[in-house]
């Protein structure tokens, strides 16, 4: 802007009849700051997303973190929005901060389990996983997995295990983020507790007591848990025997034919929801929900929106196979937030 003014002034001093002021486009762009779930970091860093938002007058400075860590921050004065990974967390943030703007969920993510192909094939050979002959989509039998978890089975215990498969000798365990700081970790607790409670959300002390032994086992065997899915995926890339519970959108970033996406046979879909503190935050939410270009970019990054509720990866891409509609066998409802907090907290206790 200063350069444009200087040029115009110089023209005037040289006797120019007309003085044309050229405005820098940056004067028309509003900068927003917001907390986002780490699973959306790559989306907001994408140059195409940056340009699409700038074309609409917005520049977003995003700060990735575990979604649950946003609770209690009360949307700091210098933040315009929070963008956690699910509606329940967003509602808690909104209620705590007494936000008047309506909540907006522009896109969603089914939860999946990532595996390297040798691990997936061994699970399939032992009845824990299956691959659809028509679509090549993989699924994970969660009740069979819980049975193996309770038996403390390791990879060598499975029929067909060989030392040269690179699977190691550790227990068969799904790893997650920390359920006390990250939405994906707490979602795993919600899914397991739902299954253990007879396909119903836990809503009493007696039900919580009944499911906690298995939840503790599922948590303790993981060892130290990561705070974000980004850290979890880094571990997955380094370890051949990892089973990682994460967002489907994270898998679309993996251009690796060795990666298999396993869809739990009881589906859980999270709605990424924006808490807007002001009108500019609200503008961002509406653009992410309704702007056609941004919808296309959301799909590129593996998020499902109203324009693509069912989809599949581009057939030419190298990488895992995705399910067109993963919500057919969705759980009826998650536990209420207070019960999920109880389950997540006690699942990490030793007793």
Q: What is the pLDDT of residue 106?
A: 94
Q: Which of 31, 32, 25, 30 is nearest to 1 (CA)?
A: 25
Q: What is the pLDDT of residue 22?
A: 37
Residues forming beta bridges with residue 83, ordered by sequence position: 36
Q: Which of 315, 209, 284, 237 is nearest to 29 (CA)?
A: 284
32 vs 26: CA distance, rounded Å: 13
Domain segments of the chain as ranges: 2-108+273-305, 110-269+319-347
16 vs 297: CA distance, rounded Å: 46
Token readout for 141 is 């039998």
Strands 58-65, 138-140: pairing is unpaired
What is the CA angle 10-11-17, rounded to 5? 145
Name the CATH architecture for the domain at 2-108+273-305. 3-Layer(aba) Sandwich (3.40)
Q: What is the pLDDT of residue 318?
A: 62
What is the CA angle 96-100-101, rounded to 5? 115
Strands 174-175, 269-276: pairing is unpaired
- DSSP code at position 303: -
Q: pLDDT (tens digit, 0 to 9) for every residue of the chain, 351 residues total? A: 444 444 444 444 444 433 333 334 556 899 999 999 989 999 999 999 999 999 999 999 999 988 888 887 767 677 899 999 989 889 989 988 888 888 999 999 999 999 999 999 999 999 999 999 998 999 999 999 999 999 999 999 999 998 887 788 889 999 999 999 888 999 999 999 999 999 999 999 999 999 999 999 999 999 889 888 888 888 888 876 689 999 998 888 777 788 999 999 998 989 999 999 999 999 999 999 999 999 999 988 889 987 765 555 444 356 688 888 777 778 877 888 888 999 999 999 865
Contacts of residue 140, Cβ cutoff 8 Å, sequence gap at least 6? 113, 123, 128, 129, 262, 263, 264, 265
Q: E strands along 224-324, which residues? A: 243-247, 259-264, 269-276, 304-305
Contacts of residue 65, Cβ cutoff 8 Å, sequence gap at least 6? 35, 36, 37, 38, 227, 228
Query: How far out from the chain centre does Cα 28 lie?
Result: 32
Helices (H) and strands (E) in the chain, counts: 13, 11
In this chain, the answer to whether the domains covering 2-108+273-305 and 110-269+319-347 adopt an identical fold is yes
Contacts of residue 22, Cβ cutoff 8 Å, sequence gap at least 6? 4, 7, 8
* This prediction's pTM: 0.84
What is the CA angle 136-85-142, rounded to 5? 40
CATH number for 110-269+319-347 (one of 3.30.70.260, 3.40.190.10, 2.40.40.20, 3.40.80.10): it is: 3.40.190.10
Q: Which sign, positive or negative, has the C-alpha torsion 214, 219, 222, 223?
A: negative
Token readout for 322 is 């995705």
> b/e for 264-300, b at 16 or more Cβ within 10 A?
bbbbbbbbbbbbbbeebbbbbbebbbebeebbebbbe
Residues forming beta bridges with residue 171, ordered by sequence position: 154
27 vs 133: CA distance, rounded Å: 56
């Amino acid at each position: 802007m200063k350069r444009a003014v200087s040029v115009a002034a110089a023209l005037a001093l040289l006797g120019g009849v007309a003085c044309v002021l050229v405005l820098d486009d940056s004067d028309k762009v509003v900068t927003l700051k917001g907390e986002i779930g780490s699973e959306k970091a790559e989306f907001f860093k994408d140059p195409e997303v940056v340009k699409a938002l700038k074309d609409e007058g917005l520049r977003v400075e995003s700060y990735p973190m575990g979604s649950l860590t946003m609770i209690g921050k009360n949307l700091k004065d210098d933040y315009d929005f929070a963008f956690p990974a699910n509606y329940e967390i967003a509602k808690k943030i909104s209620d705590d901060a007494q936000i008047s703007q309506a909540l907006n969920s522009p896109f969603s993510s089914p939860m999946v389990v990532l595996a390297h192909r040798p691990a997936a094939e061994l699970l399939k050979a032992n009845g824990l996983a299956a691959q659809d002959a028509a679509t090549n989509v993989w699924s994970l039998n969660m009740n069979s997995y819980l049975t193996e978890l309770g038996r403390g089975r390791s990879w060598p215990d499975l029929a067909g295990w060989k030392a040269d498969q690179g699977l190691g000798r550790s227990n068969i365990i799904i790893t997650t983020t920390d359920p006390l700081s990250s939405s994906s970790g707490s979602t795993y607790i919600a899914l397991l507790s739902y299954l253990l409670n007879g396909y119903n959300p836990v809503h009493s002390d007696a039900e919580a007591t009944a499911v906690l032994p298995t939840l503790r086992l599922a948590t303790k065997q993981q060892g130290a848990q990561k705070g974000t899915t980004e850290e979890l995926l880094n571990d997955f890339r380094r370890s051949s025997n990892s089973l990682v519970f994460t967002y489907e959108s994270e898998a679309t970033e993996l251009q690796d034919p060795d990666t298999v996406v396993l869809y739990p046979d009881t589906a859980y879909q999270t709605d990424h929801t924006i808490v807007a503190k002001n009108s500019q935050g609200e503008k961002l939410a509406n653009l992410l929900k309704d702007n056609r270009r941004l919808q296309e970019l959301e799909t590129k990054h593996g998020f499902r929106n109203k324009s693509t509720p069912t989809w599949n990866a581009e057939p030419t891409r190298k990488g895992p196979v995705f399910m067109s509609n993963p919500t057919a066998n969705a759980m009826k409802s998650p536990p209420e937030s207070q019960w999920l907090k109880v389950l997540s907290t006690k699942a990490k206790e030793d007793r």
